[in-house]
Structure 1
Amino acid sequence: MSVTHSGVGSWPGADMAATVRLTLGELPTGAYLPELPGRGPGSDMVGRTCGAIRALAFDLQPAGWRLTDGSSLAQRGARSLLRQDLDVLEEQSQGFAGPLRVTLTGPFTLAAAVELPRGGRVLGDAGATRDLRDALVEASVDLVSQVHRRVPGAEVGIQWDEPLLGSVREGAVPTASGLRRYPAWGAHETSEHLRVLVEEVVARGTARAATLVHSCARHAGIGDLVAAGIGGIGVDADMLARPDLDQLAALLEGGLVLHLGVAPTAVPDVLPTVDALARQALGVLRPLELGPAIADQVVLTPACGLAGWTVRPATELLRRLGSAAAIVDEELAR
């Protein structure tokens, strides 16, 4: 086995068929079903998840998604888009065999993004936060099951995206007025909340190794995620501090998978060189002093999604990540 590469979350454009063909072709060991936010409301990270959840009802307001008493036109539209995406995946993946990830918004970011019926984020209501997580369990199990049925040769995994996890842990999520912040979540509280999601999904058929939390935020709490029993973690290399390296070493020694975001994505269409990508990866991995044994646990990725890019540079970035993965593999073996 060797260092591999993959993508993260969102992708530019509005053509899901072309995008699925591209990811299956360019990422034979790291294929995933991306979001295409360019198609409009309901097709972004949070919108897809609100469409996937059936146990709760949502509506889309100018401020974002909000819990409601009954399913709305916006939620039904998001559900229809997800169903279309799965149809396209089934059509384009005939004969496919190998790993295939589906993505939903993680429980912390979802609670920080979705509003209660009377205003304020779900994050501010402990009971509503638990209900949202439990609904996410059902949505995750159902989505994995659907992909298993549609792509029988796939080893289906699930990725929960958590760009707001660091803000939740630090108490930095603002209220609607902006005058105060929601209380910070402690390490034990964070781990236990996520553990319920992971354990339920694993108990209902998903391999633990095929579960992944991705957060491109600073202070995401790598140790807390490991303690929750997750199978893999995705991080932005630029957001790592010295204490994080110790936690990454423990993660890899424990056999978990590391999706290492080595390609900056904040400035659209700016392509780093292959050598720069490899240096970034080795700058994280070499200090761990774990040698070539960890190669098959490391996946090089962009730092975050690529929705703000255009298709050609985004595609080239995936190819450069593949070339960088080969260099990193050779260097780890020395």
Structure 2
Amino acid sequence: MRTFFPSESCKATKLKAVNPQSWIQAERGTFSKFASKSPSSIESLIKVREPPIVPFFKPVDYVEILAHIHEELESCSLEERSNLYLLQYQVFRGLGEDKLMRRSLRAAWLKASNVYEKLIFGAWLKYERQGAEIISELLSSCGRCATEFGIIDVASELHANESPRFRGIDMLSDNHISRIVSFQIGLEKIVCDRQKFAGLSIPFHAMLYGCFVESSFEDINLSENNISPSGMRLIGDFCITGSLNEAPSSLLLEILVFANKFCCESLKDACDRKLASLVSSRQDAVELMECAIEENSPVLAASCLQVFLHELPDSLNDCQVFELLSNASRQHRSIMIGPALFSFYSLLSEVAINTDPRSE
């Protein structure tokens, strides 16, 4: 014969019915027993494991989605290919196929339709190969990945025809208008060729050859336009030679602001490219990126972006870089990253999550 013993709950119910005071004291004892334990010891009693985070794209049917991507690659435009290769990369990541992942990234880099995608996917390849120093050295020795890891000449990639230039308007032939004009900056006078200077922009053409009173002046005061005598002298030389001589970045920034203010597109483009060649460190990139956004300078912005991408993941730990990339408005993002927003933030998200899964 089996003997049955009353359970704890049955005993508690019986005690409560017979002697309520004893039941209350027993319950208080139980509560005080658990209350005396530390939170860590209470948590150790809970044996439920937290569900793992799987940050990979895992479609239900891998074959179907890969076949669909392949069909799209056969018929899509050149501008869409890199994003399709990025989707293919995410599928292979869900499968854990490292070699196929890198092949998709390399294809995205090779099929990049603009310099921004080249920068992003080149940096992504560099980031994916971190920790594989031996393989990287072997590939670098044969020149295979030097272009992926190296710095791109952004100025040569963003051609001049992407920045519209003022090509001048037929100058009025008037014998009474002097061919020489002097711009007074403070106490100094900078002599310039009137026709060449008027060719910088429509506003200057209107001022020097239009119906403004300055068209009859030989001396024009420009002291209130935040341009120094050295800057104006450099602009006068640019009007004749079409190029900017060696100048410090502070003077080039001054000329860039002046050119943007008076719509001097050729001068602005030359200044933009000159400043882009001077970006050599992360701090330079932070300071010049702010100016590039303010003055809408795409070449300078892309050069600064390249520095941030080349130093991933360390650059994301820089508070200044983080503020620039996370708090940028829609217009500022278009200047910094152009049309490659999706791939750019896909890369940043992956780097941030790999560094800290709780990253925002």
TM-score between the two structures when normalised by the length of structure 1: 0.26
> Greater RCO between the two (CA within 8 Å, min separation 6)?
1
Name the structure with the higher strand share: 1
TM-score between the two structures when normalised by the length of structure 2: 0.25
Choose 1 or 2 for highest CA Rg: 2
